[in-house]
Structure 1
Amino acid sequence: MSHPPVAPMPAPRVLTRTLSMELLTADVTVSVETTVTYTSRDPHALSVVFHLLGDAPVLWRLDREMILAGSLAATGEGEVHLRPGAHGKLLLRLGPAGHSATVRCDQDALARFVRDTFALVPQGTEERHIDWQPLLASLRP
């Protein structure tokens, strides 16, 4: 059985930025360097790696549209919640209830990064950047 031709996928594109964020605790605020990465092969999400002193890096994956929505109003469910903070900051609550961490970042810096991802992969074109072949191959008998 022949399969219809598949349109060629665009070449993968990657954006990476280092951003300084702050881990907020009841007693102290700790600066944390983060690396934010976007790849067009996973077009809906950003990877945020928190580089903690003496500990292994911590990786969170965040929906790029959710970040923009969280800049305007509180949003999120499950282990990821975002909301605008005072003085141009964005607050991210990451983790399950009772065991979460709150991180504060510059809202404009993160929003600029997200806008750059939309320049690489415009909204509505994400499916053209996903390599569906491994999934399709796994479904074939």
Structure 2
Amino acid sequence: MSIVIEQSVEARLVAAAPRMQSIPATLHYDRSDPFAVRMTFPAPATLEGVEVYWTFARELLTIGLEEPVGHGDVRVRPYGYDRTVLEFHAPEGTAVVHVHSSDIRRFLQRTTELVPVGLEHLQRDLDHDLAELLRDAR
């Protein structure tokens, strides 16, 4: 059974383009994919005019509240007293947003109540995953 947590957050876009004061974003956590979180930006907030989402490790978000982390497409670091910077790197360019750290902490607390850190593997249905893998291999 899939249980999803969604939380709206205010993201402040850091860009050279005309400045948007803030853009809405949504953090998602799905118990059926217990190691990952997703951050979604609505179509009006993106250059392409379509909804864009990034999926990355819950652990990356957790560590990024305290220290810089990430070497790939998503990087997270603390900024000041109550801001966290998330950088999203793509071939088209880089998007940098600031989010209130307290919003991220509240989201992570909710995900931890649903699936405690270290127990994510118990949420996986390995028999189902293996059957899907084998089905796709045919």
Q: TM-score, normalised by structure 1?
A: 0.82
Partner of 1:92: 86
Q: Which amino acid aligns with 2:103?
A: A
Q: Which of 103, 115, 126 in structure 2 is aligned with 1:121?
A: 115
Gaps in structure 1 of 5+ consecutive residues: 1-10
Partner of 1:19: 9
Q: TM-score, normalised by structure 2?
A: 0.84
Q: Which runs of 4+ in 1 moved over 3 A?
A: 138-141
Q: CA deviation at 1:109?
A: 0.5
Contact 1:22 1:104 (C-alpha < 8 Å) held by counterparts: yes
Q: Which of 86, 92, 99 in structure 2 is aligned with 1:105?
A: 99
Percent identity at matched positions? 27
- Please say if 1:78 is aligned against 2:98: no
* 3-state DSSP of counterpart to 1:75: coil
Contact 1:22 1:29 (C-alpha < 8 Å) held by counterparts: no
Aligned positions, number: 131
Gaps in structure 2 of 5+ consecutive residues: none
Q: Supply the RMSD in Å over aligned alpha carbons.
A: 2.1
Q: CA deviation at 1:27?
A: 5.1
Partner of 2:25: 34
Contact 1:78 1:96 (C-alpha < 8 Å) held by counterparts: no
Kindly provide the CA deviation profile for residues 43-95 of structure 1, in whole angstroms up to 9, marking residues without a partner as x. 01111101141711110012111111111111101111111112410001111
